[in-house]
Every structure is written in structure tokens, then in C-alpha cells.
Structure 1
Amino acid sequence: MIERADQLVLNYVSKAADAAHGVLRADQRLDFVKRLRARIEVERQGSQNAREVSKVLARFGDPVALVERELRRLAEAGATGARTGRDPAPPAGRSGGGDGAPGESGGTGAGPGATLRFPAIVDDRDTPPGVQAYRKIAQERLDRQAGRGLPFAGLRRAAMSGANPMATGGRDARTVVKEHPRDTAAIVILVVAALLVPFDLPLVAIFPVPLVAWAVGVTIVLFSETWNLRDKVVGAGGPVFGHTVGGALIGGLRVGANPGLDAFLTQFYDVSGTMFMIGTAVGVVWLAYRLLGVK
């Protein structure tokens, strides 16, 4: 999980550096990337949770937009320097704030042309908690309004293998598969277990092949660090619930006018396999939905 979180940050900073290439001078680009990385680390607060880090990066927005903002700030600083007859950005240690750390209002330690501070993101942590809460509610409403008229817009965006990770909070399908190979494998194994139910395969010792495959997939799910307890219960318990409760319910309804244990067991075994497949489908859909992290 630590490597995944750090990799998200490195990927984001690399995209920003690529976007700045050919737009900013080499020294400006280096200063910009340095301050951006420092600001991300401040907002991240040492978190090693990949999902939380993705949310932090999403709040920063599109790296290209950050570069454009930096370019405008540099242009404004240059215009100010021309009007006042002095350099647009004094060398490190000579600004009013001293040798300030990257991302602060003091000097950045970079040469001429560097901006004095990295612009704060929208929901900075010095904002009162009440304001942050109302901002979150407003943003959720805007997101819902933007998605109206597009059924399952969130899922569709996340399923786009070529989607911009910043537009989906780093949860597009290709990124998820790369970051969570074991979790993805667990989902695939559960799907395979359900698809094997209709086939009359030889037993493995005394166990049916679909049951063995399901056990392997469930083991991976239970030891995953990605899903919480509720997700694991739904994903692993869906097939069991479908097979037992669903099979008993449907089997009991199909007994009809022929009551008796033998008749019930016959109907139960006839439908339990199908109900196992339905339960697996529900569990897999839930696990995939939670893995993508779409709203």
C-alpha cells in the first residue's frame, strides 16, 4: 500500500513536469515541481492510503491547469517587476519572508522567475470545519447535476481504460488493475467459479471445482487491505447466501403440491447452483464497484 500511494504522487508530479516542459524555463520548471511535491506532502499528512492520496491529488486538479496557472503568475510577476524597475522575484534569502520553505509565502530558494508561493487548493485545512462541510455538500450536488441525463456516468468514466486518472480520482479501470492486481485476480476467480457451476467437472478430493475456486477467491478477498469488513462480507458471503437462503427459498416455492423432504431437496439442488451464480454476481459487482471507488 505504501508503494502504491507513493507511486500515485510520483505519477502526478511527473505529469505536471511533463506539462511544464517547453512551457517554463528549466529553473522555473524545477522550482514549480519542487513546490508542488512539497505542497502535496503537506496535504497528504504522511498518509500511505492509496485511496486517500488519490483524493488529495484530485483536489489539486489537472496538472496542465496548474502549469497554466503557474505561467500566468510568472507573467504577472514579470509585469510587476517591469513596472517597479526591479527583478520579478528576488533571490533566495533576500525576500521579506527569508528562506521560506517551498509552498510557503517566503522565498522558494529558486532563481529569478520563481513565484513566491504555491497556490492553495480549494479546501485548504485552515478553512473552518463548517465551511469545509458545506463545500463538500455543494460539490456533491454539482457532481450529481453534472451527471444527470447520463445513466451510470460515474461507472462509465471509471470503466474508460484511457480515462484521465484525475477526472476519476485515479480510479479508472486500467489504473485500478495496475494498482490492485491481487484484488482484481480475486474478482476474476470468483467469476470463474460461478461460470464453472453448470459444468459437470470431476471432484477435487471430495469438493466440487467451483467450490475450490470460490474458496481461493474468497481467501484473497478476506486478506485484502483494500476492502473493508462490509465489502468482504458482501463479496464473500453473496454466493453462500444465494446458494443456501436463495436455494432454500426458491426450492421451497417450487415444491408446490408435493410436500416432503425428498421433494424439497430435489428442488433445492436444482436451483441452488443458479442461485450461487446470482449471489456471486451480486458480490462481484459490489467488490468491483468499491474497488473503483466511484460515487
Structure 2
Amino acid sequence: MSPLIGAAWLDVIERADQLVLNYVSKAADVAHGVLRADQRLDFSRRLRARIEAERGGSQNAREVAKVLARFGDPVALVEREARRLAQAEAAAAGADQSGVSAGDRRGAEAGQGTGSTMRFPAIVDDRDTPPGVRAYRRMAQERLARSPGRGMPFAGLRRAAMAGANPMTTGGRDARTIVKEHPRETAAMVILVVAALLVPFDLPLLAIFPIPLVVWAGGAVMVLFSESWDPRDRFLGAGAPLLGYTVGGVLVGGLRVGSEPGLNAFLTQFWAVSGIMFMIGTGFGVVWLAYRLLDLN
């Protein structure tokens, strides 16, 4: 394995692990002041173990985000744990009042425990449900999440673009999370935008190449070597500026020539519109890359 591929693989693993760590840390923060220190530690340990079991060793950040979404809001988990502990303590107190010996009570606490349990409470889709039903339900939920036209137009895109959005409502994907998890991809898109913004300026050539073209080449290389997009998305996002420059310039330039014959007239119109078409193509390419990075479909 080359160092570049190895570094990219480690980065993918770190993203998935970071999602789990953030979720468990949030649950532990919510539990502060609600559970005792020993209860909070036991709760966090069991929650992490249950997540790892449901995760099944997956290093895919999107799959891990779906697992965390099935666990639900950490606040609800803490409230359920607090109710369970309160019920266990009430049951122990009732056993004392009914004349159960202290030794029997300690034996019950060893099995149930007022500070811990052997099993984490069931998550939302596995309580008293046959495995086959759970599998088909999960498939239906994923298919529904991928179906176009859910809710109001672009509601998911607006929700994910909110920097303060709840990651659980967007599958772990919001603007702030995207920037933190994908700094290289974000930098690549920024470089492509900078290349487009440099087009209107009459800058000197760098050797024989226009400076916007050189800047675009740097951003395109970063996009093509990214592991976060599919190959089709990489080529589409990086190639959209050149596609707009060539195909758009030829089409629009040819239409602007009109009845004026000759190659010189065509080239004049091509040079007049090709830069604008490069900027438009860059805009489409960057929007597509950003949308695919959010992965809202």
C-alpha cells in the first residue's frame, strides 16, 4: 500500500471513529449532573460497546452515521437510563420494606445493579421485533431516505447547510462537519472558485499558461485524487470548467457570430464568451461536488 493510499485510509477510519466519539461524548455531557459519576462512566462504556457491536467493524462514515441515527437523541438515552436506575432503586427500596434480607438484596443488585446493567437498553428498531422485520424495515427506511422529492424542495439541502444543524437529522452531515471532516476537499473547491474569479482580470501569463488555468489545474488535481467522491463525480466536478470553456464557448460563440462568416469572426466571439462560460462551468462543478459531499440523496 502506497503512503498516499495508506494516509487516505487512515483518514477514513478517523472520520468514522470521530463520529462515534462525538456521539458518546455528547451523551456523557448530557448525563453530567443527571447520573452519578460511576453511573455515567458505566453508561458511557455500555453505550460505546453497543455502538461498536451495531457498527460491526464498519469504517464507512456514512454507515456509522446511520447506526448512530438509529440510537436516536443522546438526551433521550440519558433520560431512559435515569428512569431505569430510578426504577431499580425503587424496586430495591420496596424489597427492603417487604422484609427481603440485605443479602438477597445485594444478590439482586449484583444481577440488576443500581449503578449498572449487563445489557444496554434496546434501540428504537430492535425491541421485540423479529430480525426479518427489522431488516426489511431498515431497507425501506434507506430507500425512503434516497427517494427524491421528500418534503419541501431543497429542504434537506437547506437543513444540511445550517452550520448549527443537528447531525442526527442529516445523517451526520452538516456544513460545519463537512468542513472539519473534509479539509482537503473543501480547499479544492475553494481553489476552483478562485480560478473562476481570476478570469475577468487581465493577468500576465505564467510561462505560456493563463494563471486561472494554472489555479484550476491545482484544484482539479486535488479533486481527482480525493477519495470522498466517486470517480464520476470527480471527473464531472473537475472537468465542468473546461467543458464550459470549450463546448459552451463554441456553442455560444457560434450563435453570436450570426451571419458574419469567417474563422476570425468566430474566434472573436469565442474569446469573448469562453471566459464567462468557464466561470459558469466552475459554478456548476463546485455546486455538484458540494452536493455530493453532503450526500443528501
Query: Shorter-chain TM-score: which interval?
Result: 0.7 to 0.9
CA–CA distance in 1 between the matches of 2:283 and 2:266? 25
**Post-superposition CA distance 1:167-192 (Å, at most 9, x none):** 32221211211111111000100000
**Post-superposition CA distance 1:38-80 (Å, at most 9, x none):** 1111122212222322222222222111111111222233334
Which residue of the partner structure matches residue 172 of structure 1? 174
In the TM superposition, 1:56-95 aligns within 5 A as 56-84=67-95, 85=100, 87=105, 90=108, 95=111
Deviation of 1:222 (Å): 0.8
CA–CA distance in 2 between the matches of 1:171 and 1:277? 28
**In the alignment, is residue 204 of structure 1 matched against residue 206 of structure 2?**
yes
How high is the TM-score relative to the length of structure 2?
0.84
Moved more, 34-43 or 160-169: 160-169
CA–CA distance in 2 between the matches of 1:90 and 1:173? 49
Deviation of 1:139 (Å): 6.2
CA–CA distance in 2 between the matches of 1:136 and 1:4? 21
**Post-superposition CA distance 1:121-159 (Å, at most 9, x none):** 334597323333234446678x93xx43xx422222222
Change (3 A) 1:214 1:240: same
Moved more, 255-264 or 188-197: 255-264
Q: 1:5 aligns to what SS in structure 2?
A: helix
Which residue of the partner structure matches residue 48 of structure 1? 59
**In the alignment, is residue 260 of structure 1 matched against residue 262 of structure 2?**
yes
Q: 1:170 aligns to what SS in structure 2?
A: coil
Which residue of the partner structure matches residue 36 of structure 1? 47
CA–CA distance in 1 between the matches of 2:86 and 2:34? 12
Deviation of 1:262 (Å): 1.9
Which residue of the partner structure matches residue 131 of structure 1? 137
Question: Is contact 2:42–2:115 with CA below 8 Å preserved after alignment?
Answer: no
Which residue of the partner structure matches residue 242 of structure 1? 244
User: Number of matched residues?
Assistant: 274
Question: Is contact 1:197–1:273 with CA below 8 Å preserved after alignment?
Answer: yes
Gaps of 5+ in 1: 96-106
Change (3 A) 1:138 1:255: closer
Supply the AA of the counterpart residue of 2:16: A
CA–CA distance in 2 between the matches of 1:123 and 1:287? 33
Gaps of 5+ in 2: 1-11
CA–CA distance in 2 between the matches of 1:87 and 1:215? 72
Q: 2:26 aligns to what SS in structure 1?
A: helix
Which residue of the partner structure matches residue 7 of structure 1? 18
Supply the AA of the counterpart residue of 1:133: M
Deviation of 1:113 (Å): 3.0
Which residue of the partner structure matches residue 38 of structure 2? 27
Identity %: 71
Question: Is contact 1:89–1:114 with CA below 8 Å preserved after alignment?
Answer: no
Which residue of the partner structure matches residue 278 of structure 1? 280
How high is the TM-score relative to the length of structure 1?
0.84
Question: Is contact 1:193–1:214 with CA below 8 Å preserved after alignment?
Answer: yes
The structure with more helix, counted as a fraction of residues = 2
Question: Is contact 1:190–1:280 with CA below 8 Å preserved after alignment?
Answer: yes
Supply the AA of the counterpart residue of 1:53: V
CA–CA distance in 2 between the matches of 1:53 and 1:215? 34
Question: Is contact 1:89–1:115 with CA below 8 Å preserved after alignment?
Answer: no
* CA RMSD across the alignment: 2.4
Moved more, 163-172 or 118-127: 118-127
Question: Is contact 2:195–2:215 with CA below 8 Å preserved after alignment?
Answer: yes
**Post-superposition CA distance 1:200-230 (Å, at most 9, x none):** 1011111101101100001111111111112
- Which structure has more RCO (C-alpha within 8 Å, separation ≥ 6)? 2
Q: 1:167 aligns to what SS in structure 2?
A: helix
